[in-house]
Structure 1
Amino acid sequence: MSHAPTGARRREIWLLVATFLVAVAGLIYELIAATLSSYLLGDSVRQFSLVIGVFLSAMGVGAYLSRFVGEALRGFIWAQILLGILGGFLAPVVFYAYAWTGAVELPLFGLLIAVGILSGMEIPLIARVLKEIGAPEFRFENVLSVDYVGALAASVAFPLLIVPQLGLMSASLVFGALNLAVAGLSLWLFRSDATRSQWGVWALALLLTGAGLVQSERLVTVAEAALYEDDIILSETTPYQQITVTRFRDRVRLFLDHSIQFDSFDEYRYHEMLVHPAMSHASRRADVLILGGGDGMAAREVLRWADVAQVTLVDLDPRVTGLFQSHDDLAALNDNALRDPRVRVLNQDAWQFVEHANTQFDVVIVDLPDPKNLALSKLYSRAFYSLLMERLSPRGVMVTQAGSPFYARQAFWSVVQTVAAARNPVQVGAGPWTLPYHTYVPSFGDWGFVMAAPFAPKTGDLAVPPGLQYLTPAIWQQSHVFGADTGPIEADVNRLQSHALVGYYLDGWAKWFE
């Protein structure tokens, strides 16, 4: 006796499998849109929240509109074909729009709403088709259960597999192809109900998507060439960020999430000002902690001091530290600092490291990205600076980069106020000694720093190691002077409960560049 499933049973099984697949694809599109929005517009919490809200609302509209679809099966297949096109080309369209026009919101949210509406129509239409084919013991909650399992699978796979292996551009096209595969198999299983127009549009969409996948590397190259002035020598998406390295002749630049981190022509100005004042003011320099600075430039400057015994560098992304440790051309920029036996590289979260560290450091150097979102803002909070003060030796010195006192003036002085408000474990009830200073870095503009210590360091001329290209005692004295348009202004302390700094930062830069 044959136990092969009947045609109706095969269709029922397929529709439940299709429910799982379309749930995976739908959530992937949502995550791609949220990630793109965070990369290109900043403030990841705000952007993720907005994308999720818009997408879910659009799904609600789609669920409502599904009642007006006369033929559920044909409506479901059309939805898959359109999702294959709109969802598949979501990332390419947004990247190209940003590269050539600078516009992100309209194409991103326009496509997000369209994809959300089509995704919202899927489950009601599948449920209707199951009823129409007489699926035995059909229960709507079974469809929803499969849908939720698909969403779980997508949420786990996106950061662990999809982004590292495919990148956003290819991932968008791959899951567009998945929707088209669902449409194609549905057309074949229900071929008696399929129309020529559906077959024709499906075939054309499949051809375009296939061509996009074949040319995906070229698409990325063309889009990035429009974004960056120089030749791109490396472009890679990690679970943490987009890494891009460009070169023009001997000039190398590093971009993280499309924001410049250094230009080899002038990075020495930034790193000398970040590192050497704190090293000079510390009474001893045996153990140094660097938070961030995965490019090794800050470590290079620290190692100029002969009395340094150990440098602990904590950077979240192992790909960044790996590149600047193993790639000969990039390692040369930091004088092979990350290969030095005195440097210990730890790839972990800065907060977690500081919170659980059981050692004290003579110098702490905070070289983290700007506080453009809440995840980064917490590393500029009173709570975090209080933890750092706990990890300082009694005569130790801490310094943090603090952004531009010109472009984001209120953000800079918020960092100053926040450091000053940190707990001082050595002098209970008193805040730490603080010193704000700034200098000009051509790639960034006027850039500021804040130095702090449990006690005011002994005054005297700045002592610097030989071989510096910029910092001198005279430059150091000038760096303490702020103009009328960069000097102190009222700003709130950045606390975990409020995160005032993010608003100051975004508003300041938007005033100049939006």
Structure 2
Amino acid sequence: MTPATAPRGAEVWLLLATFLVAAAGLTYELLAATASSYLLGDSVRQFSLVIGVYLAAMGLGAWASRFVAAPVAGFVWIQIALGLIGGFMAPMLFASYAFAGVVQGPLYLLLILTGALSGMEIPLIARVLKDIGAPVFRFENVLSVDYVGALVASVAFPLLIVPQLGLMTGSLAVGLMNLAVAGFSLWLFRGWLGRGIVITWALSLVLTLGGLVQAERMVSVTESALYDDSVIYSAASPYQHITLTRFRDRTRLFLDASVQFDSQDEYRYHEMLVQPAMALAPRRNRILILGGGDGLAAREVLRHADVEQVTLVDLDPMVTQLFQTNADLVALNHGALNDPRLRVLNQDAWQFVEHDTTAFDLIIVDLPDPKSVSLSRLYSQEFYALTAERLSAQGIMVVQSGSPLFARQAYWSVVHTLAATRNPVVPGAGLSVLPYHVYIPSFGEWGFTLVTFHPLASRPPTFPDGLRYASAATWQASQVFAPDMADLPAAVNQLETQPLLGYYNDGWDAWFN
């Protein structure tokens, strides 16, 4: 190709194509990292590995681009390949996990292929611009457009793609963008490209459009294989993927594929989380619940007529809205989230306890397990110090602390962290802690920690009528730990080091991986 025969507008199109392919490439990287975090947990590890492998593959692709003899044809072929491989990345990963129980092998194969192809794009575009004699061609201009495209993708991914499209549809939509780039390039450079590449592009376009049309069906089929029961609700929020399943009258909630409750036995968990603290609290007029967006802990709190005000702080508005409006879920939580005594605040728990100045008689910390850095920080000494400042002088706090059996060292790390946290009422002392546990059939052994400023007086608690599990007898039994769950050395969880995350992942991996 010579400057004289270059299509009109080729330079402008190639710079626009640079923007589009950069946005697509970063989106594939984020899709892979997010999908692996959903399916494998430990978001820091997954994002770190995905980014590292993807960038290395891009470097390999950039090096390999020198062997492409015809840069225009090579660029179009790469767009077609990315449209298929990148576009179908999320469907393939979820299908592999659902039907074969395998994620890491397909994930890294797709990452290497997608990264290598993406790495070839910019060098080939630069060669085409140079070949067509772009009047003011400078390689840094191409890189600038590339970086802007990556910025747009990084903003669009959490704000638009995940909440509005979901991972599967989003993946296919971005694949369609690569195919659109290929299609316009085919038309613009039609004099230099053969019929075979046009036919391949057309078939790829039909396949991807068919995937988009069938995306919802693919989600349904994959989730049916992924979950034992029928999926009755599935949606992606900016924070997590929310799934509800049902078998007969049994409902289960999953967040990022991890079960949060089973309606058949959730009462054991929520009664033991809430009722001992409610029974032992000298006052219970003003209650704070951190987490618990399903309203089940609030249901237990609102059994007590002397409760005047409950503040529930949960990050995800999609969860709280679901449990405020869905008739079956409202029946499960007894309409707790619609009770006039309760107000819902959708914000980060750390931000709330850092800035709110209310003194609460009881604080219930019902947060998801510390399986990522963003969650582990909410089990840190620094977070507990802030939370303790929100307790009244005679207040009680109870903390969901994980399994003392499946993640034993993680559980005792939470207990030790609370015990080492500064006591704002007794200078120089730590908080007083009382660990206890309960057996929940759908979870196994599960542990909690009761926290006060002074050691609790030895008195039997009085529980309200109508409970199905919690009683004075089960409360006493819950404080006895078998030898395989007993206390053992575990480091305090601090923001700087966060050993809890390692304890948690190691414990669960030892049992289930």
TM-score, length basis structure 1: 0.98
Partner SS for 2:224? helix
Check whether the contact 2:7–2:189 (CA below 8 A) recurs between aligned residues: no
C-alpha deviation, 1:185, in angstroms: 0.8
Runs in 1 of length 4+ with deviation above 2 angstroms?
A: 6-9
Partner residue in 1 for 2:365: 366
Check whether the contact 2:244–2:252 (CA below 8 A) recurs between aligned residues: yes
Partner SS for 1:423? coil
Quick one: distance in 2 between partners of 1:239 and 1:409?
31
Partner residue in 1 for 2:155: 156
Quick one: distance in 1 between partners of 2:6 and 2:63?
30
User: Matches of residues 352-391 of structure 1 in structure 2 within 5 Å?
Assistant: 352-391=351-390
Check whether the contact 1:282–1:457 (CA below 8 A) recurs between aligned residues: no
C-alpha deviation, 1:431, in angstroms: 0.8
Partner residue in 1 for 2:498: 499
Quick one: distance in 2 between partners of 1:414 and 1:454?
19
Aligned residue identity for 1:487: A
Partner SS for 2:405? coil
> What CA deviation, in whole Å up to 9, does each residue of 1:71-129 have, x standing for no partner?
11111111101000100000000000000111110111110111000000000000000
C-alpha deviation, 1:62, in angstroms: 0.7
> What CA deviation, in whole Å up to 9, does each residue of 1:225-280 have, x standing for no partner?
00111111100001000000011111010000000000000000000000011111
Partner SS for 2:69? coil
Quick one: distance in 1 between partners of 2:463 and 2:401?
22
Partner SS for 2:480? coil
> What CA deviation, in whole Å up to 9, does each residue of 1:402-453 have, x standing for no partner?
1111111010011110010111000011111100000100110000001101
Check whether the contact 1:167–1:236 (CA below 8 A) recurs between aligned residues: yes
Partner residue in 2 for 1:342: 341
Equivalences, count: 509
C-alpha deviation, 1:196, in angstroms: 2.0
Aligned residue identity for 2:404: P
Quick one: distance in 2 between partners of 1:292 and 1:195?
59
Aligned residue identity for 1:293: G
Quick one: distance in 2 between partners of 1:463 and 1:101?
50
> What CA deviation, in whole Å up to 9, does each residue of 1:298-320 have, x standing for no partner?
00000011110000000000000
Partner SS for 2:7? helix
Partner residue in 2 for 1:126: 125
C-alpha deviation, 1:455, in angstroms: 1.2
Check whether the contact 1:72–1:126 (CA below 8 A) recurs between aligned residues: yes
1:194 aligns with 2:193: yes
Aligned residue identity for 1:457: L
Quick one: distance in 1 between partners of 2:258 and 2:110?
25
Question: Which runs of no fewer than 5 residues in structure 2 stay unpaired?
Answer: none
Check whether the contact 1:417–1:493 (CA below 8 A) recurs between aligned residues: yes
Quick one: distance in 2 between partners of 1:363 and 1:443?
27
User: Matches of residues 304-453 of structure 1 in structure 2 within 5 Å?
Assistant: 304-453=303-452
1:508 aligns with 2:504: no
> What CA deviation, in whole Å up to 9, does each residue of 1:369-419 have, x standing for no partner?
000011000000111111111111010000111111111101001111001
1:104 aligns with 2:108: no
Quick one: distance in 2 between partners of 1:476 and 1:350?
28
Check whether the contact 2:417–2:493 (CA below 8 A) recurs between aligned residues: yes
TM-score, length basis structure 2: 0.98
Quick one: distance in 2 between partners of 1:143 and 1:495?
44
Partner SS for 1:110? helix
1:116 aligns with 2:153: no
Partner residue in 1 for 2:9: 10
Question: Which runs of no fewer than 5 residues in structure 1 stay unpaired?
Answer: 1-5
> What do you get for the CA RMSD once the two structures are aligned?
0.9
Quick one: distance in 1 between partners of 2:427 and 2:222?
55
Check whether the contact 1:313–1:346 (CA below 8 A) recurs between aligned residues: yes
Partner residue in 2 for 1:179: 178
Partner residue in 1 for 2:65: 66
Partner residue in 1 for 2:285: 286
Quick one: distance in 2 between partners of 1:438 and 1:137?
71
Partner SS for 2:130? helix
C-alpha deviation, 1:8, in angstroms: 3.5
Identity %: 66
With 350-359 and 197-206 compared, the bigger mean Cα shift is at 197-206
Partner residue in 1 for 2:210: 211
Partner SS for 2:389? helix
C-alpha deviation, 1:7, in angstroms: 6.1
Quick one: distance in 1 between partners of 2:6 and 2:67?
28
> What CA deviation, in whole Å up to 9, does each residue of 1:50-76 have, x standing for no partner?
111111111111111111111111111
With 194-203 and 363-372 compared, the bigger mean Cα shift is at 194-203
Aligned residue identity for 1:63: A
